[in-house]
A = this chain, B = another copy of it.
Amino acid sequence: MSYLGVGVSPGNVPVYHGSNLKVIDRRVRLAELVLRCIICGLAILSAVLIGTDTQVREIFTIRKKAKFTDMKALVFLVIANGIAAAYSLVQVLRCVLSMIRGSVLFNKPLAWAIFSGDQVMAYLTLAAVAASAQSAVFAKAGQPELQWMKTCTFYGRFCNQVGEGVASTVLVCLSMVVLSAISAFSLFRLYGDGKVKSSGGW
């Protein structure tokens, strides 16, 4: 993997010339930390909102209870949020540690690990959001062609709380997408060619 010979291993602390780079680096790292904190908080909120959501309705003598385990997409959503929260917590600790240490660039294996993790998390949360949004549409609007009836007219409060959980996960997903772009930037700039002679562009 020695692509261009500008890798940064733990023993080789990079030396920077130019304060402009340092300022941008600090901003990128701050944005990363803030986003990871937001993801951690929102993912926990979302998992709790959906995981604790139940509603009991009675029709005559029949007692019916709605819970998130009735729908596999919601179970997937809770699990995905749990994983996203745990992952973000670990990453927040890593960010804080690297800020305290004051190291500017990661080494390549670590950058690869962070990039891969962020990519997986972005795709995982998006898949969970899409699947649960599809289920929510069926529950809200039904599917008359298939005789699937609306269930949200019956379990109104339950559906609203699920909706809040899904909305919260949408924010988690968007933050993960931005973060995965940031970690791609942090990784692939390590492969930048210092030998390119031109200096135009933006």
Contact = CB atoms under 8 A, between A and B. Distances in A.
Interface in A129-151: 129-135, 137-139, 143, 145-149, 151
A41 B24 CA distance: 42
A157 to B, nearest CB: 16
Interface string A162-192: 0000000000000001000100110111111
Nearest to A127: B130
A13 interface: yes
Interface residues of A, number: 71
A133 B133 CA distance: 12
Interface string A1-22: 1111111110111111110010
B131 A200 contact: no
A202 interface: yes
A201 interface: yes
A70 B126 contact: no
Interface stretch (A31-39, A47-55, A85-93, A101-109): A101-109
Given A4-B21, A8-B201, A146 B70 contact: yes
